[in-house]
Structure 1
Amino acid sequence: MALPGVRAGARAAATKMVQRCRRVDGTERSQSPGPGTQRAALYVHWPYCEKRCSYCKFNKYISRGVEEAAMRSCLVTEAQTLLQLSGVQRVESVFFGGGTPSLASPHTVAAVLEAVAQATYLPTHSEVTLEANPTSAPGSRLAAFRAAGVNRLSIGLQSLDDTELQLLGRTHSASDALQTLAEARSLFPGRVSVDLMLGLPTQQVGPWLGQLQELLCHCDDHISLYQLSLERGTALFAQVQQGALPAPDPELAAEMYQEGRAILREAGFRQYEVSNFARNGALSTHNWTYWHCGQYLGIGPGAHGRFMPQGAGRYVREARIQTLEPNNWMKEVMLFGHGTRKHTPLGELELLEEVLAMGLRTDVGITHQHWQQFEPQLTLWDVFGARKEVDMLLEQGLLLLDHRGLRCSWEGLAVLDSLLLTLLPRLQEAWQQRTPSSVPGR
């Protein structure tokens, strides 16, 4: 469930800033419940892959002798348990990610969806997305997933260059990718998303733009552009460290991104989030929940969630992560009904930091109404109005603060991580300057 930005260095710096901007007084009080308290999205993690790609650091395992019936039973049980714990009454979307969930049986997908529909309200029009890799998703299998309840596909093409695909450790070729894309579009018209990666070692701007132009001849109405993030512990990271491959050039990656987003805009795509582009209204409603800090439940080994458990006498949103290793996770689910490895209550400032950092990823940004659902005391004007550093960003045309709310401009979206280095400290300062009488419960 990675949500990468554009520049890895700036993203890391912004992440460190978020980690520093924490409440230090040790007090707690009930949080404003935020939008859609009884609504949530559901993420289901299938942890198995045919092989590990050279750039991947996700919680994945090679699928050898998978006891799918046992995994299916545990996914169903954990979904039932967490839905009951959360008090969620309506599931807006379901996303099967991984791993490679297209390796799972359509029967597993159907069983999870049936369990959700029995435990809570799952509208017939709810978005149900499945991530698919070209080599594990022939047309007949995609049709079976559609029959199981899937109505949207996210296909990990990553590249239309066979040499790049080999570098990334992918098991498909460019022709495999285009064939799968064509079959997917015939089965899920208007509901197929594709990923294209940029910033690879040795990658050049011109050829990459050529790939994007070719993809526009074949794609549906949703494209995601993701910059490669070199993760320690991956094969690609080791190759770069050892000098076998040159380090990716961040300036070239930035140029690819800028040129690519301009091409997509010209082709009628709306950049509704830093890395995501849609036309004809084909936005991912599931990811929209993440970016606007709605509740989401994470099911399966290593899945993450953000929701407000009920019945504990207080209402505080928790960050949750499930046990990573599949066999250990299954043992815990069979014993306790769920395999939660860690759950951490989010302080109010932490939650507001997420609202700010995630909301500004979208072209809509953060409306005044949305902000007040999380923070009824401090307005956006209180936090960011009449601040010298913020005024500079407004004057530069990177940021907008008006009657609609706070949002990035077209130019600002491309450098969001650097903007957060200015905005997050302003939020912390405004929070600390509140008088004790303005903070109930302190």
Structure 2
Amino acid sequence: MVLPGARARAWGAAAKAAQRRRRVDSAGGPPSPEPASRRAAIYVHWPYCEKRCSYCNFNKYIPRGVDEAAMRSCLVTEARTLLRLSGVRRVESVFFGGGTPSLASPHTVAAVLEAVGQTAHLPADSEVTLEVNPTSAPGPKLAAFGAAGVNRLSIGLQSLDDAELRMLGRTHSASDALRTLAVARRLFPGRVSVDLMLGLPAQQVGPWLGQLRELLQHCDDHLSLYQLSLERGTSLFTQVQQGALPAPDPELSAEMYQEGRAVLREAGFRQYEVSNFARNGALSTHNWTYWQCGQYLGIGPGAHGRFMPQGAGGHIREARIQTLEPDNWMKEVMLFGHGTRKCIPLGRLELLEEVLAMGLRTDVGVTHQHWQQLEPQLTLWDVFGASTEVADLSERGLLLLDHRGLRCSWEGLAVLDSLLLTLLPRLQEAWLQKSPSPVPGG
């Protein structure tokens, strides 16, 4: 297919940039192993959308016009700056999220990836994911994203019911979603994830399970189930508050989730995280970094990051939040090289709390090896081995503490929030008992 001149030149440049990145990467031979402090994932936030969905409270904007060249330049600058600040030498995955990053040009994606590859080691087979809305990227553009270096897509399908999609404020229909999914699977075989929401107002278990079963006839090897969260300030929240829509039924939502998990397990999917399911080994390596509390750099307006700055002392890492509003963020990047608005040092207990809360979201849980790398003086047995509450959760078949570590059972994953109400206070108590009491007046 012949593309219009300017677009063809831009996408051609994207492809060449990706090829240069791959040549540079392969020429260097196999990389030497890097310590965890020098490895990270990168999240890149594209803040713009065509319209705001009724349920969404993410950092996104509906612009009259986007100066993409300026945004691209700032994304490239911030990526280089934060890579240098962090001392990260190896980037293990890149995730373009939003907003609707599939509205950006492939040239922007290629430019960011090229900057990352020039500043750190980005292996040629690193997972590079792009979030896609079904109406935002036709087949030729998806192919151009592939040429730019994207090798995995995450499609915000959300529902296969047109009435539900209208209620959610989505710009696509169910047929649009399935059509985009088919094209995506042809271009990225085995590397396409889809999102399906549950617990919508007036949604019933039977019809929703029908949607899930239909999706299984079309989907690839990764699927995410997300329960609707009514967020204050969104249109959907207001409609429910005013009685225009019924409030979601928590018991029905829980039933949908449980039944959906069972359907996916029967279809050969592994529930490797509370909301994420994969078969044929198609886990998201980028999201796995989050759940294992690895380092990640947040690039773009409102992006979040967790990393230890090079040469930092006294704390494990910093939580960073970039400036929210795109124009202000760009001004800061042009002035300072990055737009970090908040920088919060994290203590060791805070890191352990994150390791526990995030690790238990996965079916692997928290291994003894991982825990002791972060806290060699206080083992999982020390914290939880003598707890009668933990023993009770184990007897009920919700939690396992054994030679592998601490993890939820399949049943326990469904009620993780309630388990953490027991586990986090126990960790805090054990930490206080381990820490020496301050000497008065000392």
Is TM (by shorter chain) over 0.5? yes
Q: Secondary structure at the match of 2:341?
A: strand
Query: Alpha-carbon deviations, 1:24-43, whole Å to 9, x = none?
Result: xxxxxxxxxx9711100000
Residue 239 of structure 2: aligned partner: 239
Contact 2:315/2:348 (<8 A) preserved? no
SS of structure 2 residue aligned to 1:233 = coil
2:279 is matched with which residue? Answer: 279
Residue 373 (structure 1) shift: 1.1
Match of 1:133 in 2: 133
Q: State the SS of the aligned residue for 1:134.
A: coil
Matched, 1:219 2:219: yes
Within 1, Cα distance between the matches of 2:364 and 2:105?
A: 38
Give the match for residue 360 of structure 1: 360
Q: How does 1:253-402 map to 2 (within 5 A)?
A: 253-314=253-314, 316-402=316-402
User: What is the CA-CA distance between 1:314 and the residue it aligns to?
Assistant: 4.6
Letter in 2 for 1:327: D
- Which letter maps to 1:430? A
Assess, with a 3 A threshold, how the Cα gap between structure 1 residues 268 and 35 changes in structure 2: closer, same or farther. farther
2:252 & 2:408 partners in 1: Cα distance?
23
Q: Cα gap change, 1:263/1:313 in structure 2, threshold over 3 Å: closer, same or farther?
A: closer
* Whole-Å separation in 2 of the counterparts to 1:214 and 1:200: 18
CA 1:431–1:313: 2 relative to 1, 3 Å: closer
SS of the aligned residue for 1:62 comes to: coil
Aligned partner of residue 92 in structure 1, secondary structure = strand
Q: TM-score, normalised by structure 2?
A: 0.91
Does the 8 Å CA contact 1:35/1:373 hold for their aligned counterparts? no
TM-score (norm 1): 0.91
**C-alpha distance in structure 1 between counterparts of 2:35 and 2:258, whole Å:** 33
Preserved CA contact (<8 Å) 2:91 2:120: yes
- What does the per-residue CA deviation read over 1:55-100, in whole Å, with 9 as the maximum and x for residues that have no partner? 0000000132100000000000000000000000100000000000
Verify the 8 A CA contact 1:309 1:315 in the aligned structure 2: no
Q: What's the CA shift for 1:348?
A: 1.0
Q: Which moved more, 1:273-282 or 1:314-323?
A: 314-323
Report deviation, 1:316: 2.9
**Inter-partner Cα distance in structure 1 for 2:39 and 2:331:** 29
Where 2:97 maps in the other structure, the secondary structure is strand
- Pair 1:119–1:152, CA change in 2 (3 A): same
SS of corresponding position for 1:231: coil
Contact 2:315 2:345 in 1 (8 A): no
What is the letter of the counterpart of residue 103 of structure 1? L
SS state at 2:135 partner: helix
Question: Equivalent residue for 1:411?
Answer: 411
Give the 3-state SS of the residue equivalent to 2:37 in structure 1. Answer: coil
Moved segments of 4+, more than 2 Å: 311-316
Partner of 1:147: 147
In structure 1, distance between residues paired with 2:280 and 2:218? 16
Given the superposition, is the C-alpha separation of residues 428 and 35 from structure 1 closer, same or farther in structure 2, using an over 3 Å criterion?
Answer: farther
1:411: Cα distance to partner? 0.3
Corresponding residue of 2:69 = 69
The answer for the alignment partner of 2:3 in structure 1 is none
Amino acid across the alignment from 1:409: S
8 Å Cα contact 1:320/1:343 also seen in 2: yes
User: Hey, what's the Cα distance between the residues in 2 that align with 1:35 and 1:191?
Assistant: 28
Give 2:4's aligned residue. Answer: none
Q: Distance in 2 between matches of 1:434 and 1:52?
A: 49
Match in the other structure for 1:186: 186
State the partner residue of 2:27: none
User: 1:309, 1:316 within 8 Å by CA — same for their partners in 2?
Assistant: no
Q: Which amino acid aligns with 2:197?
A: M
User: Which segment drifts farther, 133-142 or 181-190?
Assistant: 133-142
Q: One-letter code of the match for 2:308?
A: M
Answer whether contact 1:35 1:370 (CA < 8 A) is retained.
no
Tell me if 1:98 matches 2:77: no
SS in 2 for 1:74: helix
Q: Deviations over 1:176-200 (max 9, x none)?
A: 0000000000000000000000000
Deviation at 1:317, TM superposition (A): 0.2
Aligned to 1:57: 57
Separation in structure 2 between the aligned mates of residue 431 and residue 346 of structure 1, nearest angstrom: 15
Distance in 2, matches of 1:435 and 1:224, equals 40
Query: What is the alpha-carbon distance in structure 1 between the residues aligned to residue 138 and residue 297 of structure 2?
Result: 30
Residue 415 (structure 2) pairs with residue 429 (structure 1): no
Distance 1:361 1:238 in 2: 31
- Match for residue 11 of structure 1? none
C-alpha deviation, 1:311, in angstroms: 2.4
Partner of 1:37: helix, strand, or coil? helix
Tell me the secondary structure at the aligned position of residue 321 of structure 1. strand
The one-letter code of the counterpart of 2:338 is: H
Secondary structure, in 3 states, of the residue corresponding to 2:434? coil
- CA–CA distance in structure 2, aligned partners of residues 36 and 127 of structure 1: 18
Which SS does the other structure have where 1:436 is aligned?
coil
Query: Does the residue aligned with 2:244 lie in a helix, a strand or coil?
Result: coil
State how far apart, in whole Å, the 1-side matches of 2:338 and 2:63 are. Answer: 22
* Alignment partner, residue 31 of structure 1: none
Look up the SS of the partner of 2:403 in the other structure.
Answer: coil
Between the aligned partners of 1:394 and 1:322, the Cα distance in structure 2 is 41
Equivalent-residue separation in structure 2 for 1:383 and 1:137 (angstroms): 50
Q: How does 1:185-204 map to 2 (within 5 A)?
A: 185-204=185-204
Query: Percent identity between the aligned chains?
Result: 86
- SS of 2:264's equivalent? helix
- 1:382 deviates by 0.2
User: Structure 2: which 5+ runs fail to align?
Assistant: 1-33
Q: More relative contact order in 1 or in 2 (CA 8 Å, sep 6+)?
A: 1
* 1:374 positional shift: 1.1
Instruction: Give the Å deviation of 1:137.
Output: 1.4
Unaligned 5+ segments in structure 1 are 1-33
